[in-house]
Structure formats: C-alpha cells, structure tokens
Amino acid sequence: MAEIRVDGARLWDSLMEMGRIGATPKGGVGRLALTDLDKQARDLFVRWCEAAGCAVRVDRMGNIFARRAGTDDSLAPVMTGSHLDSQPLGGRFDGAYGVLAGLEVVRALNDAGAATRAPLDVVAWTDEEGARFKAGMMGSGVFAGLQDLEAALANPDPDGRTMGAELARIGYAGAEPVGGMEIAAFFEAHIEQGPVLEAEGIPVGVVLGGQGQRCFRVTVTGEEGHAGTLPMDRRKDALLGAARMIAALNGVAFAHEPHPVITVGALQVRPNSPNTIPGQAVFTIDSRHPDDGTLATVAADMRAACEDIAAEAGLEVALEQTTSRGTVAFDETCIAAVRAAAERLGTPHRDIYSGAGHDACNLALIAPTAMIFVPCEKGISHNEAENAKPEDLAAGCDVLLQVMVERAGAAG
C-alpha cells in the first residue's frame, strides 16, 4: 500500500466545509466546546464517517470514535484524531485538520480498496481547547485516566452549565465507557502553531514530544469601596494588586534562561462596576517549559511574586493549580515510523518539539504515540488569520496514512 496517496483537494474541501460551521468575519472559526456549533461540527463529522463506511460510537465524555474495520477486529485499533472545538476567535485548521486528516486516510484507503489487519479509529476528542470550561484536553484527559469522569462532567462554564448537561443537551452524552481500551498506536496530525517549519520551508515536522505545563487560578481578594469617597491610601484594590502581579509574572519568565512562556489570558473582576473599587480579581496563569525542573522553579517563583505583592498591598491571594502536565516524550518506534514514512515519500522533514499541549500528550501516557506537524502561515494560531497550504496539509496526511497502515498491517 506504499503507493496509496490521499486526495489533497478532498481534504482541503472538507476543511473548508467544516470551517463554515462557526465561521467568523475574518476567516476564522469560533466553535466553543459543546455549543450548538460544536454539535453541528460533530454531526457533520459523524455523517461523513458513516458515509465512508465507519461504525461510530460515542463515549460518556462525548469523544467520538469512527471505526474502519480491519480484517481482524480482535486486534487493538490504530487510532488517529484531534479535536473539532476551537478558541472563541480561532482558526479553521487547529484540531479540525487532525480529525479530517484521519477521515481522509479512511477515504483514501476506501478508494484504493485497501484493507488493514487491525481496525483504524478516527477520533474527535471533546473540549481540547479549554476556552469554555477552563480546563483543556478534557476528553482525552479522562480517556487517559488523568482526570475523573464525574468531576469532568460536573465542570461548569462561566454561566454554570456543566459539561455533562451540555453533552446531554447536544446529544453527545454517549453510553460507552471512557478509556480502558487497548490502542496499538495513536498518531495526531496538527498544524505546528509556531513559525519553524514555514521559515525553513519544510512540510513535515516529526514531533518528539511536548513541553510541560502548569496552570493556576489566582484569586486576589481586597475590599470593595466607593470610588468617590474612599481615599487612595485606605484602599484594598484587588484589581490593582492583580495588575501588579501580572506584570511581575511576566518578569518571572524573563528571569529564566531559556525563557519559559507565561501567559495571563483571562481576568474576571468583581463586582466589575465603574464606580466601585474592585473587591476581587480572579485571573489564570498558563506556564510552560520543556524542562520539568525549571517549570517547578518557575511555579515557586510565580507564587512568591504574587504573595509578596499581596502582602505589600494588604490583599489576600490564593493560587490554585488547575493543570499540571509533565514534559511528554513520544514513543521512539512511532517517531521513527513517522520519520521513515516521510523519507519513503520523499517529503522534507525535521524533528521538532511541540510548544502547545495536544490530545496526543495525554494519549502518550497510555499508548505508543507520535505527532505529525505541518506548517501554518507565519506560525499564527488561536487566531482568525490561521492559515495553511493545501499541499502541506496533504503531505502530512500522506505520512499519517503510511504510518497507520504500517502499524495496522496491510491485509491481503
């Protein structure tokens, strides 16, 4: 089956059609997890998979698995996939590419009349982005046993709607147990979301692993007061304290070499009234680094910086760790398979680390796993301007087909 190639135009057309669901004015996508738009995207994916002859099942986390049968379905499946949810102002390729590349592998094998010994599963993981329920990689996290199912389902969005209720509402609270299945290998195709591949003109990144990540929710508590009557020197302004902490956290990043990346991306102010001194401010911290030891030191430095400022300003501060992921090293044999497939196809490639977290980082804990990166324009992602070239997307998908067939075994 070494001669089978994917249909790059069909893959592109599917991406464009999927991108119409939740399309934003500047050419991006806003498709938050478990919204009506996410349901539409899921429905379209399921329809396409069933049309391609796959049997679709949904687990209790709403993860969707589309199976292309093998000649020996007692064998563990070779799995691929990614996510269909996006950031509020995200792009058309982040996640959707990995899901639809998997579907294109199935379609291309169907066209070629080619069978594999082990079955192939194409999966769409629930809520990778963490933009709505504030903790990302949820579906794959529960699947990999990192998070408790019931706790995940009870996770609320800012309006108090839980994941479980929203899954039920959109019709994707499946009956299948989450995880506990044997997986022969997991491969995820994804845009790089960074500038390296494009800058070097290389279409395929062989991903060696992902950097570690620690996230926190920081609650700064002061005292509400009248904006007109309370003198400046008597105030306990929670937002002012939070602002100083945010600036200090940026300083922590520059104090370490090589720099970790530290982001404060969400902030809530209470009561959020123009003429009341803020009594409470809650913000998030996302910190990442390829070295676990450095990441731990950075976490301690961030905590100290926030506590020092709170003490100085007469405020209370509480840092709650919401996510902790160690550095992930992908499976040597899967990495080698990706590299060898790119070689066979004559596709220029290079080794690369993932700066972002991916579902594959969770899967790596329970199955031999690797990722395939393709370039995206100027490295822009989590942005409506996110873009990628059809030929690069096809090149990554061809590598995906090769490694999946190799792992599943060609039949006949």
d(CA 16, CA 27): 10
Q: How far is the CB of 280 from Zn ion (least distance, A)?
A: 32
Q: Exposed (0-12), middle (13-18) or buried (19+): which is 95, by Cβ within 10 Å?
A: buried
| Complex with Zn ion: residue 94 or 157, whichever CB lies closer | 94
CA quadruple 199, 201, 207, 211: dihedral, nearest 10? 0
Instruction: For the CB of residue 381, give the shortest distance to Zn ion in the complex, in Å.
Output: 8
Closer Cβ to Zn ion, 82 or 116, answer by number: 82
Q: Specify the residue, 205 or 279, whose C-beta has the smaller distance to Zn ion.
A: 205
Find residue 186's DSSP bridge partners.
79, 369
Which residue, 94 or 166, has its beta carbon nearer to Zn ion?
94
Beta bridge partners of 156: 162
Token pair 């019709």 is at which residue?
Answer: 171
CB of 17 to Zn ion, least distance (A): 19
User: Measured at the alpha carbon of residue 122, what is the angle toward residues 119 and 123, in degrees to the nearest 5?
Assistant: 130
Query: Closer CB to Zn ion, residue 136 or residue 368?
Result: 136
Q: Closest approach of Cβ 133 to Zn ion, in Å?
A: 16
Angle of CA points 397, 401, 402, to nearest 5°: 120
Residue facing Zn ion at closest CB distance: 95
Buried b (16+ CB within 10 A) or exposed e, 185-224: bbbbbbbbbbebbbeeebbbbbbbbbbbbbbbbbbbbbbb
Query: Considering the complex, what minimum distance in angstroms separates the CB of residue 82 from Zn ion?
Result: 6
By the criterion CB under 5 A, which residues form the site for Zn ion? 94-95
Q: Tell the smallest beta-carbon distance from residue 304 to Zn ion (Å).
A: 33
Residue found under tokens 């997986």: 183
CB of 305 or CB of 397, closer to Zn ion: 397
